[in-house]
Amino acid sequence: MAIKGSLKEASLPDVLQLLSMGKKTGCLGLSFHDSFGSIYFDNGRICHAAIVNRPLDTENSVYTLFTWTSGTFNFEANVEPEEGAERVSVDPQSLLLEGARRVDEWSLIEKKLPSFDVVFSLDRSKLMLNRDPLSPEQEALLPLIDGHRDVNGLIRDSGLGEFEVGKALYGLLNANFLLPVGRKRTTPTLPRNASPLERRELASALYRAGMHDEALREFRAIVEEAADPVASFHLGLIALRQKEYSSAVNSFMTAAPHAPSKMALLHNLALAYDALGQLEKAKLVIERALSSGGSSEPLIQLEGAVVAMRLGDYQTAKIRLSEARSLWTSNPPPAIWFHYAAQVAAITDDPDREILLLAAAIEAHPESAVLLNNLAAANLKRENYAAARDAAEKGIAIAPELSQLRRNLSAALEALSHADRQAASR
């Protein structure tokens, strides 16, 4: 199930609860202006969280991310933290109460501090007259408030979290110790002495945020400096998304000898060969994956079914589809499984199964215009014109730009009209 959207429409606490209840494993990527964060899940529990250029532990990273009330999020299943990253096991529910309290306070801070690109200088004459003690966070910030660093820079260089810096600045602003200098637009950068892990985390965050061109630039720079299988693998993923399938194959082959996740690499390499029409190579890759432990991976089984179907081996396709279906236990299979399962049923002259599969698909994925189009087409073949009309109309309400839906609707309406005329003439 793809989980992505806007933080204005779905709050981060709501998204965390959804992933926790669904016992999801993978990475939730978040972007907010020029900042990028990641929350990793292991069977519904948070196992790692980080924000690019923020030296925060997992809990404080999550608390900081709660303050992001706009931006985007995207969940990628079965993605693990980078090797060497801190791992914990935290129930998201335990963070929500404290997170809510901090967000309540943040709403006050935002009124004084609406943007992280604001630059402040100190009003030293007023500060010299101050007799009240400052907090440790305020004391730590004073040497850094120089009229050049914006709030992002203060967070980065102080080592404090966004919440702590915001709260400290809020107090200094209320005491009139700060003078606004202006604004400074920033882009995500790394310190000169950044480690390879930090550089890779930035590139991965850009990728998860859907900023593929920027991620491509960063991963290429990493690969040019030194052989990096993770960077090469991501270059392959980006090439796949951009439909540059030959480049994807080259990147995956470069990453293969030292790839941290062999199954993910073999699966995506098979997808690239499949897209190139090199089906025998795709078959060999899938067979290698299956023999190396991939038989318990539903996406490996599904791609094996797709390749077998394209090669005309429908019996193997049915077996692989059945194996894949049995591995999706906590949730219905994804829409793509229903699509190919129904397609195999149609090719092997089993129209009843095709209709049953597509009806189940719509129940599991009611917002899939493609599946609704397939259901309309299947009903047209069986001369179930009213059912075809209903499916096409629902699909058009979701994706009016899909021309096939309009063609199927037109065919269904024409057939129904013809039937009405014939009935009237009797």
Task: Show Cβ contacts of residue 415 under 8 Å, excluding neighbours closer than 6 positions.
Answer: 380, 383, 385
Last residue of a domain, which of 183, 205, 239? 183
Round to whole Å and give the CA distance between 248 and 244: 6
Q: Is there a single domain that holds both residue 286 and residue 383?
A: no
- Is pLDDT at 247 greater than 90 in this prediction? yes
Lowest mean pLDDT among 6-10, 108-112, 184-188, 388-392: 184-188
Tell me: do 374 and 398 sit in the same domain: yes
In a domain, 273, yes or no: no
User: Does the pLDDT of residue 2 top 80, yes or no?
Assistant: no
Task: Average the pLDDT over 271-297 and give the result.
Answer: 95
pTM above 0.75, yes or no: no
Averaged pLDDT for residues 197-214? 79
Domain ends where: 108, 130, 162? 108
Do 229 and 298 belong to one domain?
Answer: no
CA dist 371 and 352 (Å) reads 16
Domain annotation covers residue 270: no
The CATH code of the domain that includes 145 is 1.10.10.10
Q: What is the pLDDT of residues 49-85, one digit of tens each?
A: 998 877 789 998 998 898 887 889 999 988 889 888 8
DSSP string, 243-306: T-HHHHHHHHHHHGGG-S-HHHHHHHHHHHHHHHT-HHHHHHHHHHHHHTTGGG-HHHHHHHHH
Q: Is residue 391 part of a domain?
A: yes
Residue 109 has φ and ψ, to the nearest 5°, of -60, -40
What pLDDT is recorded for position 190? 54
Reported as a pLDDT band with limits 50, 70 and 90, residue 235 is very high
Render pLDDT for 286-315 as a digit per residue (tens, 0 to 9). Answer: 999 999 989 999 999 999 999 999 999 999
Counted domains in the chain: 5
Which of 30-44, 154-168, 180-194, 195-209 shows the lowest mean pLDDT across its residues? 180-194
- Which pLDDT band, with edges at 50, 70 and 90, does 192 fall under? low
At 189, the pLDDT band (50, 70, 90 cuts) reads: low
Q: What is the DSSP string of 131-171?
A: -SPPPHHHHHHGGG-SSS-BHHHHHHHH---HHHHHHHHHH
pLDDT surpassing 70 at residue 188: no
Better pLDDT: 252 or 209: 252
For CA atoms 110, 116, 119, 124, the dihedral sign is: positive
**Average pLDDT over all residues of the chain:** 88
Is the pLDDT assigned to residue 34 strictly greater than 80? no
* Mean of pLDDT values over 367-390: 94
* Per-position DSSP letters for 81-120, written without gaps between them: PPTT-----B-HHHHHHHHHHHHHHHHHHHHH---TTEEE
| R_g (Cα) of the chain, nearest Å | 27
How far, rounded to the nearest angstrom, does the alpha carbon of residue 140 sit from its chain's CA centroid? 36
Domain that holds residue 423: 332-426
Asked if residue 271 is part of any domain, the answer here is no
Q: Where is pLDDT greater, at 390 or 207?
A: 390
Would 58 be classed as within a structural domain?
yes
Residue that wins the pLDDT comparison between 99 and 263 = 263
* Residues of the chain above pLDDT 90, percent: 50
Q: What is the pLDDT of residue 372?
A: 95
- Mean pLDDT over 125-134 rounds to 83
Token readout for 194 is: 């950044």
Residues 222 and 285 placed together within one structural domain of the fold:
no
Which of 331, 362, 391 is the endpoint of a domain? 331
Are residues 232 and 168 part of one domain?
no
Query: 230-262 b/e with 16+ CB inside 10 Å = b?
Result: bbbbbbbbbbbeeebbebbbbbbebbbeebebe
**Cβ atoms within 10 A of the Cβ of 77, count?**
14
Do 75 and 132 fall within a single domain? no
Does residue 351 sit within a domain? yes
- pLDDT confidence of 185, banded at 50, 70, 90? low
**Residue 194's pLDDT is what?**
64
Burial class (CB in 10 A: 0-12, 13-18, 19+), 328: middle
Rounded distance between C-alpha atoms, residue 421 and residue 426, angstroms: 9
